[in-house]
């Protein structure tokens, strides 16, 4: 597949004009109300159900490797159901993975950009063909309902298509000035071997986005997926192999964060780390990467996204219906298990009581159940998450007034279900208003007006997403300037960033503001090399005398 791609994207002769891809368009979402789509999704779920429980190896330089320790992945809606059995990598396996990636880098970094681009396009095509199958894997392994699964797969396709086009754009970069008597060029070179450590909550989109951004820019990768989403990563790797990816370009190294992850982050040949996860782990990664090591003649780069404590402001003149729907969707979509989820709503005192009453009515309509059956809300991801969320709910009973929810939901399956929960009258400095819970818990905070609303919104250590509902142009404009987040939304929910339109990444302890899905993202995986060639003698002599003698 790859060898045939080069002439379609980039002529062998670099002096010839570059061909371009069609304009990027976001992948359309599926309509599960359509009978044929609904039937096809049921068929995909049946297929995946028969595929559950298989064992998957480490894949290191193309070699299938089994370890002594095993990591089972289970269905959070039915914890007794094994989705896949995976290997627990040891430090020796990490060493083998890095060595394989380092070896592959020697040729992959020199492969024409057009060839690397075609790999992403081929993977996108394969993923479109199997969209419902991957939706079903997401439903079984991480508990996403059909719509949330479809959004995850669609975003993955968007990342592949968008980064393919961005790689071509970078490959054609020119300097803003061409000096007389010189040929001035700018090349974006790959960094080398990278560690990609993705989360479980967008186990396809974020995992594939970080991995393939690195790959299309000429790097090689050791991929250590989350222990809660190992099967989806293994299935995506199978797609890469089918598309023709050479051995060693991506190395699948399942394992725990404490062992495999820590070993990978500290490895002296790993030049960059792309990480999405908790603030606690992200800071550990950042600190470890910053330490100089013998035999490491480079500064290790980190590309970090570390969560949020996101707020929606409901102004005094807000459209109440739109605000209630936006808050409910942002707070309880995928059970609040999004770094962009609304976990605080700051409501003007003039409509506070009415807003609380109507929000409770809306949230109590959310049906909780097995995502295989496409309930609006499913389980949280694991027993650890279940215990953590219930502990915060217990804390919230002392910090606010419980409006709805507040309990675990017992089921015959033993799934990790928690009621969508709202606390009102929460002080802005309460723990449930400051700490990331990552579950279906919302704190409602009363505000005396926009000034206080903005102060409260900016009062946490995070700065990822935020939204404001207001019909005042003056207030919206103030929010543009003063609401300190990486992704701000006006009169819409604070989740659902779209590739290309909403480059995603946050301020402060939310990470390095990496802006995934934006025009700057691929730069993070490259190093720029400026090349100036003096032309034939005599063509630029007079100009040379006028050049500044700087660095």
Alpha-carbon span 234 to 84, nearest angstrom: 9
pLDDT mean over 261-272: 96
What are the tokens at 376?
Answer: 């609006």
Structure tokens at 163: 């980064």
Structurally, at CATH architecture level, domain 310-490 sits in 3-Layer(aba) Sandwich (3.40)
pLDDT at 290: 93
Cα–Cα distance, 147 to 177 (Å, whole number): 48
Nearest to 275 by CA among 341, 199, 193: 199
Query: Please, which pLDDT band fits residue 260 given cuts at 50, 70 and 90?
Result: very high
Single out the catalytic residue among 305, 342, 356, 436. Answer: 305
Give 516-551 pLDDT, tens digit per residue: 999 999 999 999 999 999 998 755 444 444 454 444
What average pLDDT score do residues 41-49 get?
Answer: 98
Which residue among the candidates 339, 342, 356, 494 is catalytic per the annotation?
Answer: 339
Rounded mean pLDDT of the chain?
A: 94
277-331 confidence digits (pLDDT tens): 999 999 999 999 999 888 889 999 999 999 999 999 999 999 999 999 999 999 9
Say what the pTM is.
0.94
pLDDT tens string 348-393: 999 999 999 999 999 999 999 999 999 999 999 999 999 999 999 9
Structure confidence at residue 536 (pLDDT): 86
Share of the chain above pLDDT 90, in %: 92
Which of the four pLDDT bands, split at 50, 70 and 90, describes residue 5? very low
35-306+511-530 CATH fold? Aldehyde Dehydrogenase; Chain A, domain 1 (3.40.605)
- Comparing CA positions, the residue from 362, 551, 342, 378 lying closest to residue 462 is 342
138, 309, 480 from 376: Cα distances, Å: 15, 23, 32
pLDDT at residue 11, rounded to an integer: 35
pLDDT band at 2 (very low <50, low <70, confident <90, very high): very low
SS3 content of the chain, % helix, strand, coil (to 5): 40, 20, 40
Q: How far is CA 172 from the centre of its chain?
A: 27
- The residues spanned by each domain of the chain are 35-306+511-530, 310-490
User: Which segments of 147-229 are extended strands (E)?
Assistant: 182-190, 193-197, 220-223
The average pLDDT across 206-231 equals: 98
pLDDT at 119 over 70: yes
Are 193 and 102 in contact by the 8 Å Cβ rule? The answer is: yes
148 has catalytic annotation:
no
Mean pLDDT to the nearest integer, 443-464: 98
Answer yes or no: are the C-beta atoms of 457 and 345 closer than 8 Å: no
Tokens of 106: 């020697």
3-state secondary structure 351-407: HHHHHHHHHHHHHHCCCECCHHHCCCECCCCCHHHHHHHHHHHHHHHHHCEEEECCC
Helix (H, G, I), strand (E, B) or coil at 225: coil
Question: Environment class of residue 150 by beta-carbon count within 10 Å: exposed (0-12), middle (13-18) or buried (19+)?
Answer: buried
What gap in Å lies between CA 524 and CA 305, rounded to an integer?
13
The Cα 329–Cα 347 span in angstroms is: 17
pLDDT at 174 over 70: yes
Considering only CA atoms, which of 400, 393, 494 is closest in space to residue 440? Answer: 393
**Is 494 known to be catalytic?**
no
Q: How far is CA 433 from CA 419, 422, 443, 458, 496, in A?
A: 19, 12, 6, 12, 22
166 has a pLDDT exceeding 50: yes
| Helix (H) or strand (E) segment spanning residue 466 | strand 465-469
CA angle, residues 359, 33, 199, in degrees to nearest 5? 65
- Average of pLDDT values for 104-118? 98
């Amino acid at each position: 597949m790859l060898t045939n791609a080069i002439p379609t994207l980039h002529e062998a002769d670099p002096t010839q004009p570059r061909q371009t891809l069609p304009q990027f368009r976001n992948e359309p979402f599926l309509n599960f109300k359509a009978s044929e789509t609904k039937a096809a999704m049921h068929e995909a779920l049946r297929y995946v159900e028969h595929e559950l429980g298989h064992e998957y190896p480490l894949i290191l330089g193309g070699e299938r490797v089994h370890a002594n320790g095993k990591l089972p992945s289970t269905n959070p809606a039915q914890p007794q159901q094994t989705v896949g059995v995976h290997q627990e990598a040891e430090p020796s396996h990490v060493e083998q993975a890095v060595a394989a990636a380092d070896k592959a880098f020697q040729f992959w970094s020199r492969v024409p950009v057009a060839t690397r681009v075609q790999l992403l396009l081929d993977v996108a095509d394969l993923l479109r063909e199997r969209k419902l199958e991957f939706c079903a894997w997401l439903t079984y392994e991480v508990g996403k309902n059909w719509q949330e699964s479809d959004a995850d797969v669609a975003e993955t396709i968007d990342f592949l298509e968008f980064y393919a086009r961005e790689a071509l754009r970078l490959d054609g970069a020119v300097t803003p000035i061409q000096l007389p008597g010189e040929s001035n060029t700018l090349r974006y070179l790959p960094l080398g071997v990278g560690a990609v450590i993705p989360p479980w909550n967008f186990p396809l989109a974020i995992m594939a986005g970080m991995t393939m951004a690195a790959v299309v820019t000429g790097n090689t990768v050791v991929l250590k997926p989350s222990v809660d989403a190992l099967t989806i990563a293994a299935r995506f790797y199978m797609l890469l192999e089918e598309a023709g990816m050479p051995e060693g370009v991506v190395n699948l190294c399942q394992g725990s964060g404490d062992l495999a992850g820590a070993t990978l982050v500290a490895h002296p040949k790993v030049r960059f780390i792309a990480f999405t996860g908790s603030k606690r782990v992200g800071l550990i990664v950042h600190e470890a990467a910053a330490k100089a090591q013998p035999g490491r003649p480079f500064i290790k780069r980190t590309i970090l996204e570390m969560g949020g404590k996101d707020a929606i402001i409901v102004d005094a003149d807000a459209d109440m219906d739109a605000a209630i729907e936006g808050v409910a969707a942002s707070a309880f979509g995928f059970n609040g298990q999004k770094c962009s989820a609304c976990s605080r709503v700051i409501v003007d005192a003039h409509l506070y009581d009415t807003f609380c009453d109507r929000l409770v009515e809306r949230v109590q309509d959310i049906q909780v159940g097995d995502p295989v059956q496409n309930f609006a809300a499913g389980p949280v991801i694991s027993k650890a998450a279940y215990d953590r969320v219930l502990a915060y709910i217990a804390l919230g009973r002392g910090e606010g007034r419980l409006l709805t929810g507040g309990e675990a939901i017992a089921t015959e399956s033993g799934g990790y279900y928690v009621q969508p929960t709202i606390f009102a009258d929460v002080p802005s400095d309460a723990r449930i208003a400051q700490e990331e819970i990552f579950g279906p818990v919302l704190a409602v905070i009363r505000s005396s007006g926009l000034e206080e609303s903005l102060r409260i919104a900016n009062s946490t250590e995070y700065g990822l997403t935020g939204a404001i509902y207001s019909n005042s142009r003056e207030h919206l404009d103030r929010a543009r300037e003063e609401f300190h987040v990486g992704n701000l939304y006006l009169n819409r929910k604070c989740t659902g960033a779209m590739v290309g339109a909403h480059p995603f990444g946050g301020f402060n302890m939310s990470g390095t503001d990496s802006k995934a899905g934006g025009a700057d993202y691929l730069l993070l995986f490259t190093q720029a090399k400026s090349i100036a060639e003096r032309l034939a003698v005599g063509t630029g002599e007079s100009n040379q005398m006028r050049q500044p003698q700087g660095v």
